[in-house]
Amino acid sequence: MRKLFFCFAKKAIIISFTIIFLVACDPSDGNTTKTTDQSTTQLPSDPQDALVSIGLDVEDAKCLIKNHPSDVQYVLENPDRIFKNLPKLADDMFVGSSDRGAAPFASFVSILPTWDKDQIRQFKKIFGRIVFVVNTQKFESAFNNNINLLNADYEGKLPYPENYEVFRDQANKAMLASNNHYKFYMGGGTDTTGLAYSMPAYPPRMPDLYVAIEPQILELVKGYEHNAASLILHELTHTWGYEHAGNAENTTLKANNIPYYVQFIIGTNAENPAAKVEPYTPKALLEVYFGHTLD
Ligand SMILES: [Zn+2]
């Protein structure tokens, strides 16, 4: 059986046990951007529908159109965007312990029989945010500007990309090879550590791309609301073939490898993904676009 990856949440911050839905969309991302947006943006006739069709929920779509129209335009007009062939997560992707793909996870985490509706809704909302953020110009710039942080010693089987374009194309290629079909599992058990797991898309390819998360990573903790989304992106990069190979001490929570690199760009600090994790991450791209929920 192919190797599993253990992916630790950014910090041991999973302390709340109430699921609170993400509702915020931060309008405070600077008037400068807004001014520029208004003078240059030509959105599609129905940008809200267009955003929803690529996975955003209605509320997030409205907030993005209002506060970040030029970014919306940039994402929607890119025919090569990541997830271009995976427009929206289908309900049949959320599976339980009876699914054939659950077995490989079983030695690491106890897979729950099924997802509940709130968990699915929450996950879809988070996923939609990931779809948007990784296709923004800000992400692309952050990815390229900090690329020297990556250390090829830890790349494993798939070489680290030299730039965003290579990363983007690899992501779409890997998803296409598995028919753009994910299977998401909910893990449980007594050890509530806030972890997520995934299996890489190496030949011989499996028919689907597999990700398992523990339910508590969906929970929001004040100051760390973007923890789940950034960790889930980390997992997705594993399904695209990227690893943090070698000694875990050298790679866990380090920006020297692709999974943590992109996790920190969107969840910690886009200007410096190696920066220390802080609460209320003002320079994290998820914070820029979606703000905070629990203020
Ligand atoms: Zn990992």
Residue 65 token pair: 């159109």
pLDDT surpasses 80 at 30: no
Average pLDDT, rounded, for the chain: 84
- Taking 90 as the threshold, does the pLDDT of residue 295 lie above it? no
Q: How many whole angstroms from 264 Cα to the centroid of ligand 1? A: 12
CA of 160 to the centre of ligand 1 (A): 14
Q: How far does residue 3's CA lie from ligand 1's centre (Å)?
A: 12
Angle at 127 between CA 250 and CA 24, to 5 degrees: 105
Compute φ and ψ for 17, nearest 5 degrees. Answer: -125, 25
Q: What is the per-residue pLDDT across 209-246, written as a single tens digit (0 to 9) for each?
A: 999 998 888 887 888 889 899 999 999 999 999 999 98
The tens digit of pLDDT for each residue in 140-181 reads 999 999 999 999 999 999 999 999 999 999 999 999 988 899
pLDDT digits (tens, 9 = 90+) for 253-264: 999 999 999 999
The rounded distance, in Å, linking the Cα atoms of 266 and 269 is 7
Percent above pLDDT 90 for the chain? 62
- Which segment of 40-44, 132-136, 141-145, 210-214 scores lowest on mean pLDDT? 40-44
Cα 265 to averaged position of ligand 1 atoms, centre (Å) = 15
Whether residue 147 contacts residue 278, with contact meaning beta carbons closer than 8 Å, is answered with no
Query: Per mean pLDDT, which range of 92-96, 97-101, 189-193, 276-280 is the poorest?
Result: 189-193
Compute, in angstroms, the gap from residue 190 CA to the centroid of ligand 1: 21
User: For residue 233, how far is its CA from the centre of ligand 1 (angstroms)?
Assistant: 10
Query: From ligand 1's centre to the CA of 41, what distance in Å?
Result: 37
> Within 13 Å, how many C-alpha atoms sit on residue 155's CB side?
12
- Whether residue 12 is predicted with pLDDT greater than 70 in this model: the reply is no
Across 18-32, 126-140, 159-173, least confident range: 18-32
C-alpha–C-alpha distance, residues 288 and 24, integer Å: 11
Mean pLDDT of the region 25-32: 44
What residues have a C-beta under 5 A from ligand 1, the ion?
A: 5, 7, 259
Centre of ligand 1 from the C-alpha of residue 241, in Å: 11
Confidence of residue 291 (pLDDT cuts 50, 70, 90): very high
Between 168 and 188, the more confident residue is 168
Q: How far is the CA of 259 from the centre of ligand 1 (A)?
A: 6
